Amino acid sequence: MTTRRIFLAGLAAAAMPKPSWADAGTPAYLSAGKRGEGYVLHGLDENGSTLFALPLPARGHAAAAHPIRPEAVAFARRPGTYALVIDCRTGAGHHRLTPPDANQFNGHGAFTADGGLLMTSEVVAETSEGRIGLWDATSYTRIGEWSSGGIGPHEIRRMPSGALMVANGGIATDPRDRTKLNVPDMRPNLSLIGPDGALLDQAELAGLHQNSIRHLALVPGGVAFAMQWEGDPAGPVPQLGIWQPGNAPVLCPPGDAAMFAMQGYAGSIAATDTRIAITSPRGGVVMLFDTAGQPVATHRRADICGVAASGSGFLASDGSGALWHVTDAGLQPASSGGPQWDNHMVALAA
């Protein structure tokens, strides 16, 4: 009888509908911010209206959305000591991840397509050697790690093939105060890692080894990547590149005036089927390119940084609490009165 009851209970559980993002109000985006002295993670609809705002234990950076369950993992700003797993239906933080004693989180993560595994961007604190942390996404227990293929990994993105693309920024930093230790001989790279942790392909930047590769957006056949210049401010440097594995990366200079406007710093990147957007909070600009890397438009807005695809255009955030619709023609207000938006906006459909 006991066996039969267990069997029937299992059937009943299997027949029960699994919670989905619709149960959380179907948010389109996640973005962290600061309001007063507190930090929050917001779920936003397609127009930028807040559906939920969940407290964070410290300043946030990016987030990863589970592909099926209404769950998000909010990552601390690097060097980070927490990643908070949040039930976006209730606002409850039901797991708090802590990296191994020798490691620090580096602000980003990604799930596998089936949602069974969470991968986290990490460094060995004392050396900045890159690691990809592996976590069972049911129990959120640590099950292993891979090499990231370089120093200082930042954003990681799951490719359509299931492989993992890693932006290794190349910068070794002091684990306590983030002082940069190796700028003269840093070597950023893009690393493509297979589902078994093997390095499948890797690309470096010929002649621009001080252009730290930081953020990624998927484009046909590969990734667009955003960079931050760490060398002397002697002249304009492109902050956008495109890499199709198997080929050399292609840099996308938009012209000297636009490059100067970026002030050597791209804070975020996003892509649609026809456009790539990069932002610079330092320069107060968002730049649009076509997917071949040709410049299309430059728009100005102070402290603009977070950006995500929104239909054929983009939704962007700034540090004053405003959200903006971004098209070739310009910026149109989406909402205001939000928190001081942090660096990133994550599209749940991406």
Is 57 in contact with 32 (CB distance < 8 Å)? no
Q: Could you give the 3-state DSSP secondary structure of residue 75?
A: strand
Q: Is residue 198 part of a domain?
A: yes
pLDDT given for residue 57 in this prediction:
86
DSSP designation for 187:
-
Question: What are the structure tokens assigned to 187, written together?
Answer: 């070597």
Buried b (16+ CB within 10 A) or exposed e, 58-76: eebbbbbbbbbbbbbbbbb
Burial class (CB in 10 A: 0-12, 13-18, 19+), 340: middle
Q: Is 249 left (phi over 0), alpha (psi -120 to 50) or beta?
A: beta
Q: Rounded distance, CA 305 to CA 168, Å?
A: 20
Q: Alpha-carbon torsion 11, 12, 15, 20, what sign?
A: negative
Is 173 in contact with 128 (CB distance < 8 Å)? yes
DSSP designation for 19:
P
Is 330 in contact with 300 (CB distance < 8 Å)? no
CA-to-CA separations, 116 to 13, 141, 273, in angstroms, rounded: 19, 12, 28
Q: Could you give the 3-state DSSP secondary structure of residue 228?
A: strand
**Domain housing 25:** 16-261
Q: Is residue 350 part of a domain?
A: no
Q: Is residue 104 part of a domain?
A: yes
> Which residue, 103, 61, 53, 106, is CA-closest to 79?
106
Place of tokens 């690691």: 131
Question: What are the structure tokens assigned to 284, written together?
Answer: 């107060």
Tell me how many degrees the CA angle 50-51-55 measures, rounded to the nearest 5.
80
Place of tokens 């919670």: 19
β-partners of residue 201 are 192
Question: What are the structure tokens assigned to 98, written together?
Answer: 């802590």
pLDDT given for residue 9 in this prediction:
43
DSSP designation for 16:
S
Terminal C-alpha separation, the chain: 47
Number of domains in the chain: 1
Q: Is residue 1 part of a domain?
A: no
Q: Are strands 189-193 and 313-318 parallel, antiparallel or unpaired?
A: unpaired
Q: Is residue 27 part of a domain?
A: yes
Find the CATH number of the domain harbouring 22: 2.130.10.10
Q: Is residue 324 part of a domain?
A: no
Q: Is residue 92 part of a domain?
A: yes
Q: Chain-centre distance of CA 46, in angstroms?
A: 19
Its pTM stands at 0.91
What is the C-alpha radius of gyration for the chain, rounded to an integer number of angstroms? Answer: 20
Q: Is residue 181 part of a domain?
A: yes
Query: Per-residue pLDDT for the chain (350 aa), expressed as one digit of tens each?
Result: 444 443 444 444 444 457 776 776 678 899 999 998 899 989 898 889 998 888 888 888 999 999 999 898 989 987 778 899 988 887 777 899 999 999 999 999 999 999 999 999 999 999 999 999 999 999 999 999 999 999 999 999 999 999 999 999 999 988 777 789 888 999 999 999 999 999 999 999 988 999 999 999 999 999 999 999 998 876 789 999 999 999 999 999 988 888 899 999 999 999 999 999 999 999 999 999 999 999 999 999 999 999 999 989 999 999 999 999 999 999 999 999 999 999 999 998 64
pLDDT given for residue 16 in this prediction:
44
Q: Rounded distance, CA 350 to CA 315, Å?
A: 13
Is 339 in contact with 34 (CB distance < 8 Å)? yes
Question: What are the structure tokens assigned to 128, written together?
Answer: 């900045």
State which H helix or E strand residue 260 sits in. Answer: helix 256-262
Question: What are the structure tokens assigned to 255, written together?
Answer: 């012209």
Q: Rounded distance, CA 232 to CA 324, Å?
A: 33
Tell me how many degrees the CA angle 78-82-136 measures, rounded to the nearest 5.
115
